[in-house]
Amino acid sequence: MAVTLAPGTAAAPGRPRPVTRRGPRRATPGRIVAWTYLGIVVLVTLFPFYWILRTALSNNYKLATHPSSPLPVGFTWGAFERALGIASTAQAQAQGGSGASLDIPLYLRNSLIYASVQTVLIVLFSAAAAYAFSRLHWRGRNLVFGVLISALMVPGVFTLLPNFVFVKDVGLNNTFAGLILPGGLFQAFTLFFLRQFMLGLSNEIEEAAIIDGAGPLRIFLRVVLPMSSAPIATVSLLMFVNAWNDYMWPLLVTNSPATEPLTLALGVFKQSSPQAAPDWAGLMAAALIAALPMLLLFIAFGRRIVNSIGFSGIK
Amino acid sequence: MVVTSQDNHTTAVTPPSGAVAATAAPSRRTTGSRRSRFAQRTAPTRSRAARRMDLPFALLLILPAVAGFAIFYAYPTFRGVYLSFTDFHVLTPPTWTGLANFRELVHDGVFWHSLGVTAYFVVLSVVFGTLISLVTAVVLHRVTRSTTLRGVILLPFLISNVIAALVWQWMLDPELGIVDIALKHLTGHSIMFLGSGGWAIPSLAAISVWKWMGYYALLIFAGLQTIPPTIYEAGRVDGASEVQMFRRLTVPLLRPILAMVVVLTVINAFQVFDIVAVTTEGGPANASNVLQEYIYRKAFRQFDFGYAATMSLALFALLVAVTFTQLRLSRANESDLS
C-alpha cells in the first residue's frame, strides 16, 4: 500500500532533495553500521578458510601447544605430504599423522571423472532436449515437458533408496556408470533452465539458417548451441560444483577406492582416524586439496558464478 | 533416418545444398532482402512440412532425458512407494506386508524423536538463514555494487558440505578449537558444541547457515535488483528512514523471492545429511539424529530397506505438505510490484 502511494507523491516537489542528500551520504552513521556489518560477514565467511590453511601448514603435535596461535604452529609441509601420500609412515606418525593413508591422487582422479563426465553428459542431453522442447514443433511437446518437469517435485531423499537398489540390481554399484548415470541423463533443473533460455532466442537467425538449407540438426549444432553458450557455461559450472561436492549418492553406491570421490574419502578418513587425537593438520590439508579445484573455478569464473546465482533462482 | 528426411526437406527449399548454416549470422545480413522474399513465399508450406519432419528428430533428442527420467525418477518414485509396503532386506526379494511398516512407524519413538530433531534444525536454520541472508543482501544492495564482495560471500557455497563440516568441527573442537578457546577467553565458560545434546543441533544449524547464507543472499540480491530505484527515491522524498523503507518497501516487494528462499531452505534443511554424517553421526545419544541420518542407518546399517522406504515416503509427504502450505500462506506468486 505504501508502495502505490509513494510514486504519486514523489512526482511534484521531490526533485532537488535526493540530489542534495547524495553528497554527504558517504559517511553517515548508517553507512558505517552497514560496512561494519559487511565486514563481520566477510570475516566470518573467510576465517574458516584461513584456519584450514593455517592448520594444514602446522605440525599436528605442536598444534596442541599453541591452539590459538594465528599463524601455523611449527610450520611444515608435512600435512600435505601425508595427505598426498608422499610421507613415509614413520614420518607421518612423527608429525602426528595416524599412519592411515589417504590416497588423494586416486580420489582426486575419481572426483574429476565423476564430476566432469556427469557435467558433460547432463549438459549435452539437457541442451538437446531443451532444443526439442523449445525450437522444434511437435505434437505433445508441452505435455511431455510437463511430465519431465514434475521431477522437480520429488525430493532427492525419496528416489535415493530405490535408485540404489536398482543400481545394485543391475550390477552397477562401485562403477562410474552407476555413479554418473542417475544424474547424467536427466535433471529437471538443467532442462528447465536451458529451455527457458532457448525459448527466448529470436526466430530470425534460425529462419535464415533454414533458408540457407540447414536442417534441425545443423540448426541445433551450428546456431542454437553457439547462441546458448552463456547459459550452457553457467549450467555447466553449477553442475560441476554440485557433482564435485556430492556426498550422499557416492556414499550409497561406492565403497571401493577405485571409484570413491574425494568428498567421500574425506568423510570416511575422518571417521576412521582414532577418536582421541585426529590428525587435524592432515585432514585440513586434504580438505584444502579437495576444495582447491572449486577455489580455482571461483577465481577463474567468479563473476559468471555470482551472476548465475541470480538468474538460476529467478528463472 | 533423420538425416535423409532433413536432406529432402532442405533441397526442396534452397538450391545450393552445400550451403550450411555455419555462418548463419553473416548470411542473414548479406541475404537480408532475398531472405524476406523467400520467407514470405515459402513460410506456410515449409513450416507445416518442417513440423512433420521435426517429430522424429525431436524424439531422438529427448530420448536420453526421457530415459533418465523414466529410469531414475519415475520408476524409483513408484518403486519407493511399493517398497514402503514391504519387508525388504536387499538380499531377498521384498515381501508384501501391507501397512505393517506404517504401524511400526507410528509406534517408533526414535522416528518421532528424529522428526522433532529435524524440525528443530529446520526452524533454526530457516529463521536465522533467511534473516541473515535478507539483511546481508539488503545491506549489500544499499551500499555497494561490488561483484568481488558478493563473490566472497558466495565462497562457502562452492565447497562441499563435508569440508564445511570438517573445518567447523575442528574450529568447534572442545579442547583445541579456536572458537572454543575464544569463548573460554571471553566468558570463562566452555561449550561442548557438537558433543552435547543441547548444543548439537544449534551448532549444526550454524554450520548450515554459514554454508548457504551467501547463496540465498545472492538470490535475494537478484530480487532486489528487480525493484526499480525510483521507488526508493520516492520513499526518501517522503522522508522515510532506511528502516521504514526496508519494512514498507523492500520486504513487501520482495515477497515472491523471499517465499522462494524460505521454501528452498525448508526443503534443503529437511533433507540435511552430509554435515550430520561427517560430524556427529546422529549423536550424542540421538540428539542430532535427523531423519535422513536415521533413514540412512536403518537402510545401510540394519538393512531394513522396507522400513527406510516408509520413512522416506513420510518425509516426502511432509515436504509436499509443508511446501504447499508455505506457498499458500506466503502468497508467493503475488508481488506488490505491478
Asked, for residue B37, whether it belongs to a domain, the answer is: yes
Read off the pLDDT band of A272 (50, 70, 90): low
Residue B31, pLDDT above cutoff 80: no
Phi then psi for residue A300, to 5 deg, are -75, -40
B155-206 pLDDT per residue, tens: 999 999 999 999 999 899 888 888 888 888 888 788 888 888 889 999 999 9
Residue B294: the pLDDT is 93
Cell of B303: 538393512
Residue B328: the pLDDT is 78
CA distance A89 to chain B (A): 23
Q: Give the mean pLDDT of chain B.
A: 81
CA pair distance A75, A60, nearest whole angstrom: 10
Q: Are residues B120 and B26 in the same domain?
A: no
Asked, for residue B173, whether it belongs to a domain, the answer is: yes
Lowest mean pLDDT among A88-92, A108-112, A158-162, B295-299: A88-92
Q: Are residues B201 and B314 in the same domain?
A: yes
Q: Are residues B20 and B159 in the same domain?
A: no
CA pair distance B103, B306, nearest whole angstrom: 13
Cell of A205: 537467425
Q: Do A280 and B176 touch (CB under 8 A)?
A: yes
A73-106 pLDDT per residue, tens: 878 787 787 777 776 666 666 666 655 566 788 8
CATH of the domain at B146: 1.10.3720.10
Residue A46, pLDDT above cutoff 90: yes
Cell of A127: 541442451
- What is the mean predicted confidence (pLDDT) over B261-283? 87
- Sort out which chain A residues have CB atoms less than 8 A from B25's CB and list them: 205, 208
Q: Are residues B252 and B300 in the same domain?
A: yes
Q: Give the mean pLDDT of chain A.
A: 81
Find the domain containing B168 and state its range.
101-330
Topology annotation, domain A104-272: MetI-like fold (1.10.3720)
Q: Do B21 and A209 touch (CB under 8 A)?
A: yes
Asked, for residue B308, whether it belongs to a domain, the answer is: yes
Helices (H), chain A: 2-10, 16-22, 29-56, 60-63, 78-83, 89-94, 104-134, 141-149, 156-169, 176-184, 188-199, 203-211, 216-218, 225-227, 229-245, 248-253, 262-272, 280-314
Q: Are residues B314 and B232 in the same domain?
A: yes
Q: Do B28 and A144 touch (CB under 8 A)?
A: no
Q: Are residues B148 and B245 in the same domain?
A: yes
Asked, for residue B158, whether it belongs to a domain, the answer is: yes
- Sort out which chain B residues have CB atoms less than 8 A from A183's CB and list them: 72
Q: Are residues B106 and B241 in the same domain?
A: yes
CA pair distance B205, B280, nearest whole angstrom: 13
- Please tell me which residue of chain A has the smallest CA distance to B247: A2
Asked, for residue B336, whether it belongs to a domain, the answer is: no
A164-208 pLDDT per residue, tens: 999 998 999 899 999 999 999 999 889 988 998 898 888 888 888
A253-270 pLDDT per residue, tens: 998 888 999 888 887 777
Domain positions in chain A? 104-272
User: Domains in chain B: how many in total?
Assistant: 2
B277-289 pLDDT per residue, tens: 888 888 788 889 9
Q: Are the C-beta atoms of residues B332 and B263 closer than 8 Å to each other?
A: yes
- Sort out which chain A residues have CB atoms less than 8 A from B158's CB and list them: 241, 245, 291, 294-295, 297-298, 305
Interface ipTM: 0.81
Asked, for residue B92, whether it belongs to a domain, the answer is: no
- Count the alpha carbons within 13 Å of B2 in the hemisphere toward its beta carbon: 13
Phi then psi for residue B86, to 5 deg, are -125, 165
Q: What are the residues whose beta carbons fall under 8 Å from the beta carbon of B321, sequence distance 6 or more?
A: none
Residue B43, pLDDT above cutoff 50: no
Residue B187: the pLDDT is 85
Asked, for residue B229, whether it belongs to a domain, the answer is: yes
Q: What are the residues whose beta carbons fall under 8 Å from the beta carbon of A223, sequence distance 6 or more?
A: A205, A206, A209, A214, B21, B24
Neighbours of A57 (CB within 10 A): 21
Q: Are residues B174 and B261 in the same domain?
A: yes
A24 vs A276, which has greater pLDDT?
A276
A35 vs A309, which has greater pLDDT?
A35
B207 vs A63, which has greater pLDDT?
B207
Q: Are the C-beta atoms of residues B62 and A132 closer than 8 Å to each other?
A: yes
Q: Are the C-beta atoms of residues B258 and B130 closer than 8 Å to each other?
A: yes
Residue B41: the pLDDT is 43
Give which of A5, A157, A235 to mutate to test B binding, by max B Cβ within 10 Å: A157
Q: Are residues B201 and B306 in the same domain?
A: yes
CA distance B96 to chain A (A): 16
Q: Are residues B58 and B106 in the same domain?
A: no
| Sign of the C-alpha dihedral computed for residues A277, A287, B293 and A179 taken in this order | negative
Asked, for residue B337, whether it belongs to a domain, the answer is: no
Cell of A224: 542454437
Q: Are residues B57 and B174 in the same domain?
A: no
- Sort out which chain A residues have CB atoms less than 8 A from B313's CB and list them: 158
Residue A302: the pLDDT is 80
Q: Tell whether omega for the bond before A7 is within 30 degrees of 0, i.e. cis.
A: no
- Sort out which chain B residues have CB atoms less than 8 A from A165's CB and list them: 79, 83, 90, 305
Q: Please say which residue of B83, B116, B131 terminates a domain.
A: B83
Percent over 70 (pLDDT), chain A = 82
Residue A4: the pLDDT is 31
B207-233 pLDDT per residue, tens: 999 999 999 999 888 888 888 888 888
Q: Are residues B74 and B162 in the same domain?
A: no
Q: Are the C-beta atoms of residues B58 and A138 closer than 8 Å to each other?
A: yes
CA pair distance A141, A128, nearest whole angstrom: 14
